[in-house]
């Protein structure tokens, strides 16, 4: 095998999902592709998340197994909600201008932090800001920005920017002139996305759906 191909395959391997035994999941900070009976999946593991996302359907049945359904957030729910609520309060203060912040994760302490990045430019319809540098004790995990008095949605600029990110959650809040804001949220990884908007709205409004264990977020602390 060409050394360059060997390097690429070692950095991002592809595994056929076994049909007659359980798939051995990643146990370190890495990622890979999985070929299953119904298509292609991506498995990503970082200190704050372990997820398997479907990339594409196969046009024909394949002689492999099915990966487990997995989306496990290693973030304490109260800290995550507190960080998002603090961001919403700060965004109200500067509305109708847009605002931005990052929630970070310290894998040593298991703590969620809050960072307001340097703003390059902003108005009522756009914001441009720097992503904080990742360190072993400060991993950027939630990219949050506001839309002022406009509804929450992912713009074309968001779509382009999110394609370049390794793994993160993106959060947008809007209608900040109203008592009840609108929110949208998604997980981004390697050009793939998973909509988390219903879950985000539920945890912010303390809805029982927030206790759904499939999300894997910690319930306390």
Phi first, then psi, for residue 99 (nearest 5°) are -135, 165
Burial 65-81 (b: 16+ CB within 10 A, else e): bebeebbbbbbbbebbb
pLDDT, tens only, 102-148: 999 999 999 999 999 999 999 999 999 999 999 999 999 999 999 99
Asked, for residue 221, whether it belongs to a domain, the answer is no
Contacts of 33 (CB under 8 A, 6+ apart): 12, 13, 14, 15, 40, 41, 42, 43, 55
Gap between the Cα atoms of 174 and 163, Å rounded:
22
Q: What pLDDT sits at residue 183?
A: 97
Gap between the Cα atoms of 216 and 74, Å rounded:
7
Gap between the Cα atoms of 70 and 4, Å rounded:
31
Residue ending a domain, among 51, 73, 95, is 73
- Over range 20-30, report the average pLDDT: 95
Gap between the Cα atoms of 204 and 183, Å rounded:
9
Query: Pick the residue with more confidence: 46 or 162?
Result: 46
122 and 108 co-located in one domain = yes
The C-alpha torsion from 91 through 119 and 79 to 108, rounded to 10°, is 180
Report the predicted TM-score, pTM, of the whole model to 2 decimal places: 0.86
- Over range 25-40, report the average pLDDT: 95
Residue ending a domain, among 37, 58, 73, is 73
Q: What pLDDT sits at residue 164?
A: 67
Orientation of helix 77-94 relative to helix 197-204, angle to 10°: 90
Q: Work out the percent of the chain whose per-residue pLDDT is above 90.
A: 79
- From residue 121, alpha-carbon distances to 93, 99, 118, 127, 165 in Å are 17, 10, 9, 6, 21
Q: The domain spanning residue 211 has which CATH number?
A: 3.40.140.10
Gap between the Cα atoms of 52 and 173, Å rounded:
26
Gap between the Cα atoms of 195 and 169, Å rounded:
10
Given a cut of 70, whether residue 186 has pLDDT beyond it is yes
pLDDT, tens only, 130-139: 999 999 999 9
Asked, for residue 220, whether it belongs to a domain, the answer is no
29 and 46 co-located in one domain = yes
Cis check: omega of the bond before 156, within 30 degrees of 0: no
**Lowest-confidence region among 77-86, 155-164, 173-182:** 155-164
Q: Which of 35, 72, 71, 70 is nearest to 56 (CA)?
A: 35
The single-letter DSSP state of residue 46 is: E
Q: Give 163's pLDDT tier (boundaries 50, 70, 90).
A: confident
Given a cut of 90, whether residue 1 has pLDDT beyond it is no
Q: Give 165's pLDDT tier (boundaries 50, 70, 90).
A: low
Q: Give, for 23, the enclosing helix (H) or strand (E).
A: none
Q: Token digits for 55?
A: 């990339």
Domain extent at residue 175: 77-215
């Amino acid at each position: 095998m060409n050394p360059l191909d060997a390097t690429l395959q070692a950095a991002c391997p592809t595994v056929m999902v076994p049909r007659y035994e359980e798939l051995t999941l990643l146990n370190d900070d890495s990622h890979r592709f999985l070929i299953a009976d119904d298509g292609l999946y991506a498995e990503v593991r970082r200190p704050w998340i372990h997820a398997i996302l479907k990339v594409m359907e196969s046009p024909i049945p394949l002689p492999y197994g099915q990966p487990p359904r997995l989306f496990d957030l290693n973030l304490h729910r109260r800290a995550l909600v507190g960080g998002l609520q603090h961001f919403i309060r700060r965004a109200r203060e500067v509305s109708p201008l847009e605002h931005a912040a990052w929630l970070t994760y310290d894998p040593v302490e298991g703590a969620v932090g809050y960072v307001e990045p340097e703003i390059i430019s902003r108005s009522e319809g756009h914001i441009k800001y720097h992503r904080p540098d990742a360190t072993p004790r400060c991993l950027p995990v939630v990219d949050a920005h506001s839309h002022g008095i406009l509804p929450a949605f992912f713009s074309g600029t968001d779509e382009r920017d999110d394609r370049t990110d390794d793994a993160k959650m993106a959060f947008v809040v809007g209608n900040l002139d109203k008592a009840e804001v609108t929110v949208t949220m998604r997980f981004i990884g390697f050009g793939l996305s998973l909509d988390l908007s219903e879950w985000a709205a539920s945890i912010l409004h303390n809805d029982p759906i927030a206790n759904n264990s499939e999300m894997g977020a910690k319930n306390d602390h």
